[in-house]
Amino acid sequence: MNVNLQHWRLEVDAQGIATATLDKAGESANSLSAEVLREFSSLLDQLDVSPPKGLIIRSGKVAGFIAGADISEFARLDTAEQGRALVERGWTLFNRLAAVKYPTLALVRGHCLGGGLELALACRYLLTVDQPATKLGLPEVMLGIFPGWGGMLRLPQRVGPAAALDMMLTGKTIDARRAKKMGLADDCVPPRVMEMAARQLVVSGQPRRPLPFMQKLMNGPLKRVVANGARKQVVKKVRPQHYPAPYAIIDLWQKHDGNALAAPEVVDRIIASPTARNLLRVFHLQERLKAFGKDSEFKARRVHVIGAGVMGGDIAAWCALRGMTVTLQDQTLERIAPAIQRANTLFSKKLRDPLLARAAFDRLIPDPQGDGVPHADVIIEAIFEHVEAKHALFRAVEPRMKPGALLATNTSSLRLEDLRTVLQRPERLVGIHFFNPVSMMPLVEVVEAEGADPAVVRAACAFVRQIDKLPLPVRSAPGFLVNAVLAPYMLAAMRAVDEGISPETVDEAMLAFGMPMGPIELIDTVGLDIAMAAGKQLAGGADAPKCLLQRVEKNQLGKKSGQGFYAWSDGKPQKGSAGSVPAGLAERLVTPLIDRAERLVAEGVVVDADLADAGVIFGTGFAPFTGGPLNWRQASR
């Protein structure tokens, strides 16, 4: 079939089955730009003239199916009219696709997100390819917007409103097998048979699996009940003034069947909101972090972690989860055992498939003698914070390392310049500083000491990306970036408690500001002894708060001891009611954090304000809707 297309290829075989392959020109991943959608409309015009027996839509990219709409076009929206036009473009086109007379099938291999999933939902059939990279989701809420091209209409029809709202309100993705199990995909097949399976399914005439009766009621007469329940869950997590998009998704589904064009005022409000602009900024900051290490060819297969405490053990488990062979060293097997038990829990939770969990477990090898050192591509020291102890360790390890291996320390408080003095090649030591809990915190600080080998720093960034974390290059300085900005923030919070403001009220002030956790609860979670030690180093000689000293003297160390500022039960703080929040308290508490971040940029600990914002957001959870602390201060002036 002769169609002049730049981004699509259209082929029709002897049996009359058409295949439309999206291979966006000049890009490594497919996205749905205005031009891509225009060409797809033209492609449908051609098929209207000569209808095929069936149409298979697939990707020509190794990276995946379709990553979503073109983010750069969204960023250029200047007016409400442009925003509505963007929504109408995809809504109208995908409704047209859903209405064609011939059967259609989306062959989904790799990521299928946002507008990509909305396109797939408009097809009669959805076939997923069973491989780890296949992920499906509607993550628009993470950008402060909503799925406006039919996702809010069709996803609840496919999987039921409860599962659909859960996906849309959280932005979570699901894998290929899960997609089939919940009814989103009609089938899930191995890569080797995907072409044959697609051809068979598209012309099979097979009816879609119907929604269970109760799900149909929830999508019809019980819609209001479901929507009210969803709102109650959202209120527990985010406030509408900070994150309006989840509330808009519920309203658009309940009142307009997911047709945002029926509520243009909602489209205008969401797309023009500061939250959407700032979350788009956060997306670009994340992409910038992901780019670190791309200029290095370093690739690790074996990792050796020394120190099986909470941090070392969890770093080892995470590396094994990500496919590496990991040896974990400590003085005895008894010291390593708790880390192995925690790892087993992590693997079962993250991988679900018992065979995959077992394979990860087999990759994590207890190694009391340190036999893994000569074979490791990366060696991570995670023992207690003591210079002489680390010196002794480095003296023993360095002669046994293979050429080209990375030597890293997870220190959070010691200067790399002081640690590397015993090394024959001091320029090879790099900081790879993880945050607790390792499995949840996306950021890893990659610490460069004075005179470090730039190639080593790039390799460390590449390793961090390899284990699916976000590397943030920082210079060696007390507390680096994240701990350095947290210290004055937590100190200010405890000073407020010393003044007689209840811990609950202090926390409520910052929750209302938009923080995911209040500073007093954070201190309890980190540990009051850790806060005390960090304060001595990072508080510039200031006296410790009385409320902290009193509790540490009583061995009330927070969550780990069951009592700190709060009593803890089943891993949760038992809080009383917050009092009336004094005017200006949130701004007063956050000011020292922002001041410190500005100073660290000025001192070159982090390269620029954007990276400082990225580090504080992904390393502390600082309210993403603000665009970061320095961005918030700039916008508030």
Residue pair 32/70 in contact (Cβ under 8 Å)? The answer is yes
- What string of DSSP letters covers 460-525? HHHHHHHTT-EEEEEES-TTTTHHHHHHHHHHHHHHHHHTT--HHHHHHHHHHHT-SS-HHHHHHH
Cβ-based neighbours of 364, under 8 Å, separated by 6 or more: 316, 317, 320, 326, 328, 340, 343
Give the domain 302-476 fold: Rossmann fold (3.40.50)
Beta bridge partners of 448: 475
């005017």: which residue's tokens?
Answer: 583
Amino acid 352: pLDDT: 79
Question: In 3-state terms, what secondary structure has residue 537?
Answer: helix
CATH 1.10.1040.50 maps onto the chain at 483-636
Architecture of domain 8-272: Alpha-Beta Complex (3.90)
Mark the ranges of the chain whose per-residue pLDDT is less than 70: 1-3, 538-541
Determine the Cα–Cα distance for residues 434 and 623; give it in Å rounded to an integer.
Answer: 20
Judging by DSSP bridges, how do beta strands 429-433 and 443-448 pair with one another?
A: antiparallel
- Told to judge if 140 belongs to the known catalytic residues of this protein, a careful annotator would answer yes
Looking at 35, 81, 118, 417, which residue is catalytic? 118
Question: What is the DSSP secondary structure assignment for residue 135, as one 8-state letter?
Answer: E
Residue pair 458/296 in contact (Cβ under 8 Å)? The answer is yes
- Told to judge if 118 belongs to the known catalytic residues of this protein, a careful annotator would answer yes
Helical packing angle, 310-321 and 354-363, nearest 10°: 120
- 168-185: string of b/e by CB count within 10 Å (b at 16+)? bbbbebbbbebbbeebbb
Amino acid 541: pLDDT: 66
For 430-452, how does the pLDDT look when each residue is reduced to its tens digit (9 = 90+)?
999 999 889 999 999 999 999 99
For 601-627, how does the pLDDT look when each residue is reduced to its tens digit (9 = 90+)?
999 999 999 999 999 999 999 999 999
Looking at 140, 398, 445, 448, which residue is catalytic? 140
Amino acid 385: pLDDT: 86
Determine the Cα–Cα distance for residues 573 and 584; give it in Å rounded to an integer.
Answer: 25
Q: Which token pair is 444?
A: 């890893």
Looking at the chain, how many residues does it have? Answer: 637
Q: Which token pair is 373?
A: 């050192």
Question: What is the DSSP secondary structure assignment for residue 369, as one 8-state letter?
Answer: T
Long-range own/partner contacts, residues 80-88 (CB < 8 A, 24 or more apart):
80/264, 80/267, 80/268, 80/271, 80/272, 83/267, 83/268, 83/271, 83/272, 84/261, 84/264, 84/267, 84/268, 86/148, 86/271, 87/148, 87/149, 87/260, 87/261, 87/267, 88/261
Class of domain 483-636: mainly alpha
Cβ-based neighbours of 308, under 8 Å, separated by 6 or more: 316, 328, 329, 330, 335, 336, 338, 339
CATH 3.90.226.10 maps onto the chain at 8-272
Element (H, E) at 445: strand 443-448
Q: Is residue 555 classed exposed, middle or buried when 0-12, 13-18 and 19+ CB atoms within 10 A define those classes?
A: exposed
Question: What is the DSSP secondary structure assignment for residue 332, as one 8-state letter?
Answer: S
CATH 3.40.50.720 maps onto the chain at 302-476
CA 433 to chain centre: 18
